[in-house]
Amino acid sequence: MVSFRKIFQNILNFVYPPVCPLCNAPVSEHGVLCADCWTAVNWIDGPKCSCCGYPFIAGYDFDKDTLCPICASGKNELDWIRSACVYDDASKQIMLPFKHCGKIKYARFMANAMIWALRDIDTHNIDVVMPVPLAWRRLFHRGYNQASLLARPIAHAMGVGIDYDSVHRKYRQDMGHKTSAQRAKNIRGVFTVKNPDKIRGKHILLVDDVMTSGATFSELHRVLMQAGAASVSGVSFCRVVRAL
Ligand SMILES: [Zn+2]
Ligand SMILES: [Zn+2]
């Protein structure tokens, strides 16, 4: 029997034929990249740190429980982190227009890639998805919080709600190309939990577009745990990968 959903999908595909959101080449379904654009991106699909998802050099036979030096030394406090791809020239062509030039149509395939990045994680205990908050001043200028656009399809796929407003973020100057230590110092104290009742006892999944040094996730982890969260984990579309 043909489902209503299938009929609707066929009509949608007829009116709006699915195209690659990056280059407009025809594709099989909405929300996917064409083969050329897909292969240009450095997806994290090889061995990685079982905790923070840091990609190891391919070709080595790592145990699935292997930790990177950061996680092995206990410096990463989040339950786990996953990212779909490496931040490089290819993913920059996605990230920068998405973040700064209103290319919000990219959100769908980016979120799909992030859901794919969680394939080795048991997400059943996640209670709520939280986009990394944006300061009001930045939200006003940009018109949207890019992390919220990614959080929606992820929360939908998990069947959980989204928390947009329990945490407030103060405006601070852009972090630019500062070191990890400077980033950590700059982000310290920018987040305030406004509604601890919504945080207490919750397993929270943070969502962001890019993870640079991990300082934003760490600081959110700190304030959320202080407010009584049960656990905090994170997922980003891409991540900066530096030699450890
Ligand atoms: Zn393409
Ligand atoms: Zn790690």
Instruction: Please give the distance, rounded to the nearest whole angstrom, from the Cα atom of residue 204 to the centre of ligand 2.
Output: 19
220 or 22: whose pLDDT is higher?
220
| Mean pLDDT of all residues in 213-225 | 96
Q: What is the pLDDT of residue 15?
A: 74
Distance CA 225, CA 222 (A): 5
- pLDDT tens digits, residue range 64-109? 788 999 999 998 999 999 999 999 999 999 999 999 888 998 999 9
Instruction: Please give the distance, rounded to the nearest whole angstrom, from the Cα atom of residue 106 to the centre of ligand 1.
Output: 12
Domain ranges of the chain: 1-37, 41-239
Q: What is the pLDDT of residue 165?
A: 94
What DSSP string describes 157-172?
A: HHT-EE-SSSEEE---
Residue 83's H or E segment, with its range, is strand 81-86
215 or 180: whose pLDDT is higher?
215
Ranges 9-23, 56-70, 111-125, most confident? 111-125
Per DSSP, 105 falls in state G
Instruction: Please give the distance, rounded to the nearest whole angstrom, from the Cα atom of residue 21 to the centre of ligand 2.
Output: 32
Instruction: Please give the distance, rounded to the nearest whole angstrom, from the Cα atom of residue 127 to the centre of ligand 2.
Output: 23
3-state secondary structure of 19: strand
Per-residue pLDDT at 30 exceeds 90: no
Please provide the average confidence, as pLDDT, over all residues in the chain. 91
Q: Which ligand is in closest contact with the Cα of 70?
A: 2
Per-residue pLDDT at 244 exceeds 80: no
Instruction: Please give the distance, rounded to the nearest whole angstrom, from the Cα atom of residue 233 to the centre of ligand 1.
Output: 31
Q: What is the pLDDT of residue 64?
A: 74
Q: What is the DSSP pairing of strand 128-131 with strand 81-86?
A: unpaired
pLDDT band at residue 185 under the 50/70/90 scheme: confident
Of 111, 148, 87, which Cα lies nearest the Cα of 32? 111
Q: Could you name the CATH architecture of 41-239?
A: 3-Layer(aba) Sandwich (3.40)
- pLDDT tens digits, residue range 103-150? 998 999 999 999 999 999 999 999 999 999 999 998 888 899 999 999
Long-range contacts of 18-22 (CB under 8 A, 24+ apart): 21/103, 21/105, 21/106, 21/108, 21/109, 22/93, 22/94, 22/106
Q: How many helices (H) and strands (E) does the chain have?
A: 10, 7
Q: What is the pLDDT of residue 35?
A: 94
Per-residue pLDDT at 59 exceeds 70: no
**228 backbone φψ class: left, alpha, beta (φ>0; ψ -120 to 50):** left
Instruction: Please give the distance, rounded to the nearest whole angstrom, from the Cα atom of residue 181 to the centre of ligand 1.
Output: 37
Per-residue pLDDT at 17 exceeds 80: yes
Q: What is the pLDDT of residue 1?
A: 56
User: How long is the chain?
Assistant: 244
Cβ count near 181 (within 10 Å): 10
pLDDT band at residue 175 under the 50/70/90 scheme: low
pTM for the model stands at 0.90
- Dihedral Cα 153, 237, 22, 101, nearest 10 deg: 90
